[in-house]
Amino acid sequence: MGRLLVSGAAAVLGLTMLTGAPTATARAVPLDGTFPSRIALPNGFQPEGIAIGPGPTAWFGSRADGDIYEVSLRTGRGRVISEGPGTPSVGLKSDRQGRLYVAGGASGTARVVDTDTGELLADLTLTTGTSFVNDVVLTRDAAWFTDSSQPQLYRLARTSRGPAASATTVPLTGDWVQGAGFGANGISTTPTGRHLLVVNSTSGLLYRVDPTTGAATEVDLGGASLTMGDGMLRQGRTLYVVRNRSNQVAVLRLSRDGLSGRLVRTITAADLDEDTSFDVPTTVARFGADLYLPNARFTTPPTPTTEYWVTKVRARAGS
């Protein structure tokens, strides 16, 4: 039957998640068959990361306790599939084998969760020093994690059978300037797939990183700034960079080698449907022609009743 988000009874009655916690209140699916433009997450959830697919299924991590919440993009209904360890779940990425790679924030860890069963497949300590393991991208043979507190990345080898038992630390060198505040945040790959792209949230600079050496080269953006740059998503030569507290998504057209790019569009609240909004979106994933962004609401004090939601917007790349 594939991946079922709720049992038949829960789908009809809107009762409880399998873990016993209540589901978020979902808006009705429009009669024209389109997916909802706003998806409610559980009150108090404190989302940060998102991963989508394969298929119209998304996963979100909680900064509050590390829970993983699974949602149907078609209906907006969801459930907790994996209870967290009490430490944050931040950046997320899913692979085609049904594994979810989770950045652990200030815990200095990474986890791997089975999205079908919720089973914890791996719980890895990436560093014991001061850290904020923030985001993750999957390449053909590795999961790469950023650390916003230290000028370094973590490489976790992966195969079709699963992740390695430990990760390798790769220092960032070359043009990289750590500076004060959050450093490396969002991470992606170049259009060729041979290098990594990493944004520095505080300086607003984008770097191309050689994965074999850690040598970073500043990407020429023609003067465009990516301050408050958070999660990133590359589709072909289009790079989406979420600028969290600016409530914007910068849309860049990259050169094939990833050494230059130009700002072609900025997605703002004006691009959203009238029934949704941005409130400090942190990262982005895509399904079909649409982008999905969880709103972390960093400027709103979190309480058990604070509302959180996911915003959908059309993924027009610009000219």
Backbone dihedral region for residue 223 (phi beyond 0: left; psi -120 to 50: alpha; all else: beta): left
How crowded is residue 123: how many other Cβ atoms within 10 Å of its Cβ? 14
Domain membership flag for residue 1? no
Percent of the chain with pLDDT over 90: 86
For residue 180 the two structure tokens come to 């004060």
Identify the band that residue 8 occupies on the pLDDT scale cut at 50, 70 and 90.
very low
Identify the DSSP state of 283. -
- Averaged over 173-194, what is the pLDDT? 96
What residue has token string 């949602």?
71
The CATH number linked to 43 is: 2.130.10.10
- Whether the pLDDT of residue 158 is over 50: the answer is yes
- Averaged over 45-57, what is the pLDDT? 96
pLDDT score recorded for residue 34: 80
Domain membership flag for residue 152? yes
Domain membership flag for residue 233? yes
pLDDT score recorded for residue 132: 98
Provide the domain count of the chain.
1
- Residue 54, domain extent: 8-314
Q: What is the largest CA-CA distance in the chain?
A: 57
CA separation for the pair 248, 266 (Å, rounded) = 7
Domain membership flag for residue 288? yes
pLDDT score recorded for residue 10: 30
CA-nearest of 110, 113, 31, 28 to 70 is 113
Domain membership flag for residue 73? yes
The pTM of the whole model exceeds 0.85: yes
Domain membership flag for residue 3? no
Domain membership flag for residue 240? yes
Domain membership flag for residue 308? yes
Q: What is the pLDDT of residues 296-306, one digit of tens each?
A: 999 999 999 99
- Averaged over 16-22, what is the pLDDT? 36
Q: What is the pLDDT of residues 222-273, one digit of tens each?
A: 999 999 999 999 999 999 999 999 999 999 999 999 999 999 999 999 999 9
Contact 282, 244 (CB under 8 A): yes
pLDDT score recorded for residue 26: 43
Q: What is the pLDDT of residues 64-108, one digit of tens each?
A: 999 999 999 999 999 999 999 999 999 999 999 999 999 999 999
DSSP-derived secondary structure for 75-119: T--EEEEE---SS----EEE-TTSEEEEE-BTT-EEEEEETTT--
What residue has token string 């910068």?
250
What contacts 263, CB < 8 A, 6 or more positions away? 221, 222, 224, 250, 251, 252
